[in-house]
Amino acid sequence: MIKFIDYKLIKQPNTISEETFTPNNNLVEFINSREGGNSRILVIKASNSSGKSFLLNSIAYAFKALELPDDELSPSLRRSLNYLIDKEHQKINFEIDIDDPDGFKINGKFNYLDENEIRIKDKKGGAEKINSDEFSSRYKLLYDIPEKPLDRIYKLLKSIKEFNGEILGNLNPLDIKIRDILKSIKEERDEVVIKKIQDRINRDLELKKTHEDKLDKLKENLKDLENYDNLIRLKKSTDSKARKVIEFSNIEKELKLLKPSSRSKKNTDNKNKISALKKEIRNLHISSLLVYCKEEIIENVYYEKFTNSFSKTDVNLFNYLFDNPESIVDDLLVNDVEKISKFIKGLESFKNISLDKVFKELKSEYNEFDYKFIKELKNAFTKYQDNCRQSQLIIGLFDKNPYLIMEKLDIYENKLSIVDDLNKLQKELNNAISSLVGKINKGLSFSKKLSREITKNKSGNNGYDKKIERANNIKESINRDKLEIDKLRNNLEINGVKLSVLNDANSIDELCDNLYMKNNYCKGKEKEQIDEYKNEIKKSELFLVTLDKALLDDNVKLKVENSKKSSKYALNHREIQIFSNKLSFFTRYMVQRNALISDNGELKSDDSLEYKSYMKIIGEYVASLMGNKIIYQDSNVDIAYIDYSSKTPYFVTQNDRRIAFSDFSGGQGSSNYLKAKLNISEERKFIVLIDEIANMDNKSLEMVIDRLKELNNNNKLLLAILVEPAKESNTFKIRSY
């Protein structure tokens, strides 16, 4: 309530038009007589030029109205205030004391000397000056003339924009802070991370063990296969060597009975040529090719059928050709033309007669003609199907779906494909034998040259010389066998075969039998199995190297993580991360919604579905600012929210009744607007100064007064003065509420 008010207004000072004004007697009397009791709500009805607007302007200026932002002070009121303090025009001394509900007085005064202060006066008479910021943090000045009130209701959204700004101002640093927290927790010891790494290490160690076991097993199997192969080769080389030793011994005996050549020329060039020619013959690898052919025959899956088809002559021929692969090389080295020719003829005969006969028999068993027919038929079918998909010809011809025919053809083709295998094998053997014949012929030409060179060196007994050459060749061959045997024994020893076994032929046989049984699972495909094992071993070793690298890496990571300091929050990292994500999303949600309201409170139109719910929320918020009640057609109407979604906003009642903004009269609009401005949720105390309330009817005014009373009851009102003009002259009436 006003405790004291005094002013002196000198208009046109120091001119002949000078006039002095002081407070209206009715006002002074009203204050001094305490007529209004403790009321803080005053309605002044006064005739024009009675000083009612001057009173509002002065109180507003005293309480810093000129510092209000543009949207809180209308341009016309701002102009009035600037006119008030224009010293060329008038001089004022003004002072007012108002009782604050909290037990002190607030004093506002200003004068033409540019003094303008607000003080807090306590009960003991002490006074403390407060600045504008302190004042505005305690009191909210509402100085208004309700102009175009409905437009301004629409602009109440600005308060939402401001509040959104406050929320975002709070959310953004919070969002950043929580992200910082997460980052610092990450750098702390995290038992979950440590456990994860430890688990991964354990899992990798287990995997390593499994793979090492698998690798050992692979190596063991490979060793068995290689040992078996090496033992067989060892046996062959040992037998070959033994045979050659006997042969050498026989030749030696024969040589003793023959007369040696009378003289021998010493010719180094010639010796070199002999050595080179021998090398050329050996480099033809005829014996290896013979071994290959023999293995191809005896190790293929049809061998049993081969042996059944071979005649006794075929078997003898086979043994003659392939049992002693070194003999033909020896014949070439001593140029035994007769034996060489016989061998070549034998090879051709074996290829053209023996093998041809066997393959014909085998293929007839599988009916090669059927196979050819099926293959050709299938090709023809496929081509026809590709080119004439829609044709009914095949169905017409065979009375069967073409796909069923193709299926049947596939079955036959698979069944008869064994013929392909046989053809392939026959081709391989024929090629190998042809190659052998070619090499022996080539060897023969070297052999002839060799013979000429040897003859140059020797003279006299040609038979003796040939024998001694053969003896030398056998000796060389024995040496080669020895080297091969040593190499094989060495490999076998490295692969774990004991020396005692290698030194005993029976033990070797026994071991061979054992390994044969052990390797039986290969079913004749030992060589392929060896290649497969080698590949698997390579892969396994590579995998283990990668695994070792991963383990090394994880062990370093574990060390690093283990060395970090422990934090009680590390376990909650996930929880904080989830909240941080939600907060970031919510901040984004707020930014997007806030962008719908422009800085001056205009609503940007966006009818997308996701913003519809937000439109309702702001509609509810503004409705609540108005106390969820409006005056419409002289009645109080309860409203639920304001629907801003259409061009003309609507008040929407609890029963979904819709009242358009444009349907309101000015007075009702003013009332509704003022109610909204007098926000009950405002934390500061209001100083309310409202000019020109004349356009409000009694009902509308009553609603505003009710809101002011509500504020007063909630200790939120310092003073409210509402003024309206009186038609009668010399009138200055004050009503208190």
- The residue ranges that bind another protein (CB under 8 A) are 160, 163, 166-167, 170-171, 173-174, 177-178, 181, 184, 569, 572, 575-576, 579, 582-583, 585-586, 589-590, 593, 610, 613-614, 617, 620-621, 623-625, 681
Residue type, 340: I
Q: How far apart are CA 162 and CA 682, in angstroms?
A: 13
Least distance in angstroms from the C-beta of 196 to another protein: 21
Least distance in angstroms from the C-beta of 569 to another protein: 5
**CA–CA distances in Å: residue 277 to residues 26, 443, 479, 566:** 149, 9, 19, 82
Q: Which of 129, 104, 98 is nearest to 116 (CA)?
A: 129
Q: Which of 647, 675, 548 is nearest to 215 (CA)?
A: 548
Q: How far apart are CA 503 and CA 489, in angstroms?
A: 9
Q: How far apart are CA 153 and CA 511, in angstroms?
A: 106
Least distance in angstroms from the C-beta of 729 to another protein: 47
**CA–CA distances in Å: residue 106 to residues 81, 98, 118:** 21, 5, 7
- The nearer residue to another protein, 214 or 684, going by C-beta atoms, is 684
- The nearer residue to another protein, 159 or 227, going by C-beta atoms, is 159
Least distance in angstroms from the C-beta of 590 to another protein: 7
- The nearer residue to another protein, 149 or 627, going by C-beta atoms, is 627
What count of other Cβ atoms lies within 10 Å of the Cβ of residue 585?
10
Least distance in angstroms from the C-beta of 574 to another protein: 11
Least distance in angstroms from the C-beta of 681 to another protein: 4
How is residue 521 annotated by DSSP?
A: G
- The nearer residue to another protein, 184 or 633, going by C-beta atoms, is 184
Chain centre to alpha carbon of residue 737 = 70
Least distance in angstroms from the C-beta of 591 to another protein: 12
Asked if 27 contacts 6 with a C-beta cutoff of 8 angstroms, the reply is no
Least distance in angstroms from the C-beta of 675 to another protein: 14
Asked if 685 contacts 138 with a C-beta cutoff of 8 angstroms, the reply is yes
Q: Which of 434, 419, 321 is nearest to 370 (CA)?
A: 419
- The nearer residue to another protein, 554 or 643, going by C-beta atoms, is 643
Q: How far apart are CA 13 and CA 126, in angstroms?
A: 35
Asked if 722 contacts 28 with a C-beta cutoff of 8 angstroms, the reply is no
Least distance in angstroms from the C-beta of 394 to another protein: 58
In the chain, DSSP finds a helix count (H) and a strand count (E) of 26, 15
Residue 722, SS3 per DSSP: strand
Asked if 95 contacts 6 with a C-beta cutoff of 8 angstroms, the reply is yes
Chain centre to alpha carbon of residue 391 = 51
Least distance in angstroms from the C-beta of 644 to another protein: 15
Helices 526-563 and 191-257: angle between axes, nearest 10 degrees: 150
Structure tokens at 204: 């990798």
- The nearer residue to another protein, 682 or 706, going by C-beta atoms, is 682
